[in-house]
Amino acid sequence: MMIASHGAAAYAPYALTFDLLFRVIAVMGPAVDLALFPVTLAALATGGRTAARASLSRNGAIIVATLAPLLLGFWLVAPGIGQAVIGPDFREGFVALSGWVALHCAILAVQQFVLNQPLFIVERTDVSVWCVAAGSAVAVGCGFLLLPA
């Protein structure tokens, strides 16, 4: 949508910001998730649903406690990153979008590493697909509403 309405140059700061932050989340999130999810499966096998729920609650707290400072830190140091490594043509857009991209990555991380775990345990991945579809529809709607004219 943005490329169609503003051209490829307007999309570049978003793509740069998202790619930089998402790569970090794509490494940290699965690392934490892969360490925690087997613990939940073991809790389910030995202690039943009550133990699995408790484990899922701890997992969610650990994942948020790990990723939230990372995302907040990115947003806080974005001006410095922009000065140090981003070209002058993209710097202003990078800094301006860093908060929105951090929020976007936070929502993606919660969906992927917190909300999906219970669905995988109860083997209801169809719910996850519907959530992603609904989120995509909201994202497209927000794109139409929030893209500057």
The upper half-sphere exposure of residue 134, i.e. CA atoms within 13 Å in the direction of its Cβ, equals 7
For 84, residues 6+ apart whose C-beta sits below 8 A from its C-beta are none
- What is the C-alpha to C-alpha distance for residues 56 and 114, in angstroms, rounded to an integer? 8
Q: What was the pLDDT predicted at 136?
A: 78
Among the ranges given (17-31, 35-49, 133-147), the one the predictor scored with the smallest mean pLDDT: 133-147
> How many residues are listed for the chain in this entry?
149
pLDDT at 42: 92
CB 98 within 8 A of CB 48: no
Q: Is the pLDDT of residue 143 over 80?
A: no
pLDDT digits 0-9 by tens, 25-81: 888 888 888 898 899 889 989 998 899 889 988 988 998 898 889 889 989 999 999
With a CB cutoff of 8 Å and minimum separation 6, the contacts of 107 are 135
Q: Give alpha helix (H) positions in the chain.
A: 2-6, 8-85, 88-110, 116-121, 125-146
Tell me the Ramachandran region of residue 123: left when phi exceeds 0, alpha when psi lies from -120 to 50, beta otherwise.
left
Per-residue model confidence (pLDDT) at position 22: 87
Say what the pLDDT of residue 88 is. Answer: 86
- Tokens representing residue 108 in the block: 């993606």
pLDDT tens digits, residue range 79-121? 999 899 888 888 888 888 888 888 888 888 888 888 778 877 7
The mean per-residue pLDDT over the stretch 122-141 comes to 78
Give the model's pLDDT for residue 121. Answer: 76
Taking a C-beta distance cutoff of 8 angstroms, is the pair 101, 63 a contact? Answer: no
pLDDT of residue 12: 80
Residue 101: the pLDDT is 86
Cβ neighbours of residue 37 under 8 Å, at least 6 residues apart? 59, 117, 120
